[in-house]
Amino acid sequence: MAKKSVTTILSMKRYAIILATEEYRYVKPKTLFCHKDAQLLKKTLHEFCDFAEQDITLELLSSDILTTPVSLLDKIRLVAQRTQPGDTILFYYAGHGTLYKGEPYIILPDTNVSNIEQTALALRDVSDILRMPERVNVRIFDACHSGFDVRNQSVSPPDAQGFVRAITTADRTQGWLTFAACREDEFSHGDPNLSHGVFTYFLCEAIRSFPEDSNILPELLKIKVCEELADWCQKKTHVQTPTMNAAISGNLVIACRKRSILSQSQIQKNLADDGSLKEPRTPSVVERLALVRCSMIKVGTEEHLTRLAKFMEHIRDALQARIHKVESFDCEVELTPIQKVDRLPKNLKESIALFIKREQLQPVHDIRIIEKRSDRYTSLFSADVFNRPTVSYEYIVEQGFRWRWPDSYVELRIQSDGYLPSAVLYYYLIPLQVKVCLHHGVATTSAPLSEEFELQSQSQDYEFLDLSDDGALSLIDAHVEDGIRELNKRYSKLVEERLSYLERELNL
C-alpha cells in the first residue's frame, strides 16, 4: 500500500516590533507621548487583533539605559528568525528620524548628531533583516514631531522632513507597506488632552472600530484615520495628512479584528434549547450590586487606606528618583514631604474644584464650590432694577477627618534665586468612590515660594487608577516622567523670557 503524503499547514502568525523614544541626550526637542503611544498600540494589537502578546516586542527607549543600534538590530533579528512564510511583521517607531547622506535613520536616545552612522539606527539595516521571502511587512512611523504645546516646532533634528520623504518613497519591494503620520512638509502633532500623539491615537481607535472577525485592510484603515485626524485638525487649526506607500498585489491584510472571547459556559448560557441565541437579559439591581462589591475595595477600610498610602509613597519615591532630571538652572530644587492637600495654594484649588465639577466626580475628600451673593445696596430704599447682586465663589479642597485619610499631596519645587522665577510640579491623589484620580500640574510664580504664594497654573493632567491593580504603579511612573518633562519645558521657557528681559534692561 502506498503511503499517503501528509502536508503540514502552519497557521499564519503576526509579529510586532514596537520602538519609541521620548528623551534624547544630544537632540532637541523631546518627543512627548511616544512611550504612551507605543503602549497603546501594543494593547490594541493584543486585545483587539490577532497578535499574541508573546509575539509583540516593545522597546521603550530611554537615555537612562544605553541602547546601541547593534543591540536593537540583534533583537529585531531574533524576531525575524521566528517567522515563517506567510507571516506578518509589523514594525512601528515613534520619535525623531533624520536623513543623512541620503539614508533614513532613527534617532536613538544616545544618538550623536556628529556621528549619525555609528549612533543612530539605519532604517536600511532594519529593512534588510525584515526583508524575508513571502512575509508581509508593515511599517508605521509616527515621526517628524513638532511643537503643538508639547513639541517645539521651531527646533527639529537634522533633515526630519527628509526622513519622512525617504520612508514614504523607498522600499517598494513587493509585500511592503509604509504608513506615516504626515507628509514631508508637515509635522506630527500631539494632544495633551489625549496624552498621545494624534496619529497613533486615531490609528488605534480606527483599528478598534473594525467589526469583529473582519480583516483590517490598509486602504480602509487609512480612510478612518484620515477622517478622524481631519476633524481634529479643523478644531485645532493644524494640518497633518497621514500618507501611505504600498507595493502589494491583491489585498494586503494588516491584521484580523479579534472576536470577543466568551467561555464555553457563557456560550451555553446564551443559547436557547433549540440552539438559537437567547434575548440578552438585563442584570438585576442585586446582580449589578454584587458585581460592584466584588470589584472594588470598600472605601474607608484599613485595606483601602493602606493602598492609598502606598500609592502616595510611590509617587514621592518616583519623584525622588528623578529629581536629578529637573533643569533648574542652578536654582534650589526641593521635594516636600507628603502632606495634606489643605496646603494646596489657594488659586490652584479653583482649577481642581472646577475639574471635579466638570467631570462630575464624587470624591471622598471635601471638594466643592460655594457660591456667595452679596447685594450692592444697603437698604430697600437704595435698591433699583439695575443694581444687581455680586457673585463670588469659594473653592474648597480639603482632606477632612473622616476615616483618617492618609496625606495625599506632594510638591517638587524650584525655588527662585532672586533672578529667576519659581515653579512647582504638584501631585494630588484624589480618592473617589471606587478608583483614585492622580491629578498633577505645573504652576509658576515670579516670587519666592512661601506659605502664602500665588501660582499661575501652566498645565494639568490626570489619570484614573485602580487601587487593586499593582500595574497602576507603572502608570504613576509614566505620569511622573511626563510631569518632570512638562516642568522642564515650562520653566525653561520662563527662564529664557526672564533672561531676555534682564539682558535688555542691562542695555538700557
Q: Is residue 267 part of a domain?
A: no
Q: Is residue 327 part of a domain?
A: yes
Query: Edge-to-edge strand order for the sheet containing 409-415?
Result: 332-335, 409-415, 422-431, 436-445, 456-465
DSSP string, 7-60: ---PPP-EEEEEEEE---SSSSS--TTHHHHHHHHHHHHHHHBS--GGGEEEEE
* 3-state DSSP assignment of residue 93: strand
Q: Is residue 27 part of a domain?
A: yes
- Sign of the Cα pseudo-torsion (80, 83, 89, 93, in order): negative
pTM above 0.85, yes or no: no
DSSP string, 378-436: SSGGG--TT-PPEEEEEEEEE--SGGGPPP-EEEEEEE--SSS-EEEEEEEEEE-SSSE
Q: Is residue 86 part of a domain?
A: yes
Is 410 within 8 Å of 427 (Cβ atoms)?
Answer: yes
Question: Alpha-carbon distance 356 to 396, whole Å?
Answer: 11
**503 phi/psi in degrees, rounded to 5:** -65, -40
383 Cβ contact list (under 8 Å, min separation 6): 375, 377
Instruction: Mark whether 252 and 310 lie in a shared domain.
Output: no
Q: What is the pLDDT of residue 48?
A: 93
Quote the cell numbers at residue 397.
479642597
At which of 236, 256, 276 does a domain end? 256
Instruction: Mark whether 192 and 251 lie in a shared domain.
Output: yes
Instruction: Mark whether 181 and 314 lie in a shared domain.
Output: no
Q: What is the pLDDT of residue 5?
A: 36
Residue burial 356-377, b: 16+ Cβ < 10 Å; e: rest: beeeeeebbbebeeeeeeeeee
Write the DSSP symbol of residue 133. Answer: T
Question: Alpha-carbon distance 76 to 441, whole Å?
Answer: 38
Instruction: Mark whether 95 and 172 lie in a shared domain.
Output: yes
Number of domains present in the structure of the chain = 2
Instruction: Mark whether 251 and 307 lie in a shared domain.
Output: no
Question: Of 142, 144, 145, 32, which is closest to residue 461 (Cα–Cα)?
Answer: 32
Question: Alpha-carbon distance 239 to 244, whole Å?
Answer: 17
CATH number at residue 157: 3.40.50.1460
Instruction: Mark whether 307 and 230 lie in a shared domain.
Output: no
Question: Alpha-carbon distance 346 to 398, whole Å?
Answer: 11
Instruction: Mark whether 64 and 209 lie in a shared domain.
Output: yes
Instruction: Mark whether 115 and 208 lie in a shared domain.
Output: yes
Question: pLDDT tens, position by position, for the chain (508 residues)?
Answer: 443 333 333 458 999 999 999 888 888 777 888 999 999 999 999 999 999 999 999 999 988 888 899 999 999 999 999 999 989 999 999 998 888 888 899 999 999 888 999 999 999 999 999 988 888 899 999 987 543 222 333 334 456 667 777 776 655 544 578 999 888 778 888 887 788 999 999 999 999 999 988 999 998 999 999 999 999 988 888 889 899 887 655 568 899 998 765 545 555 555 655 555 556 667 788 777 777 777 677 887 888 889 999 999 999 999 999 999 999 999 999 999 999 998 888 778 888 888 888 888 999 999 999 988 776 555 555 555 455 667 788 899 998 766 678 999 999 999 988 889 999 999 999 999 888 999 988 888 877 766 455 666 666 778 888 887 767 888 898 889 989 998 998 899 899 999 999 999 998 7
Q: Is residue 113 part of a domain?
A: yes
Tell me which residue range forms the domain holding 69: 14-256
Write the DSSP symbol of residue 468. Answer: T
Is 48 within 8 Å of 60 (Cβ atoms)?
Answer: no
At which of 218, 234, 256 does a domain end? 256
Is 90 within 8 Å of 14 (Cβ atoms)?
Answer: yes
**Per-residue CA distances from 83 to 14, 75, 133, 252 (Å):** 8, 13, 10, 17
Is 163 within 8 Å of 95 (Cβ atoms)?
Answer: no
Instruction: Mark whether 434 and 340 lie in a shared domain.
Output: yes
Q: Give 3-state DSSP helix, strand, coil % of the chain, rounded to 5.
A: 35, 25, 40
Instruction: Mark whether 59 and 205 lie in a shared domain.
Output: yes
At which of 223, 256, 289 does a domain end? 256
Instruction: Mark whether 350 and 442 lie in a shared domain.
Output: yes
Q: Is residue 295 part of a domain?
A: no
Total Cβ atoms within 10 A of residue 64: 9
Q: Is residue 297 part of a domain?
A: no
Instruction: Mark whether 248 and 340 lie in a shared domain.
Output: no
Q: Is residue 197 part of a domain?
A: yes
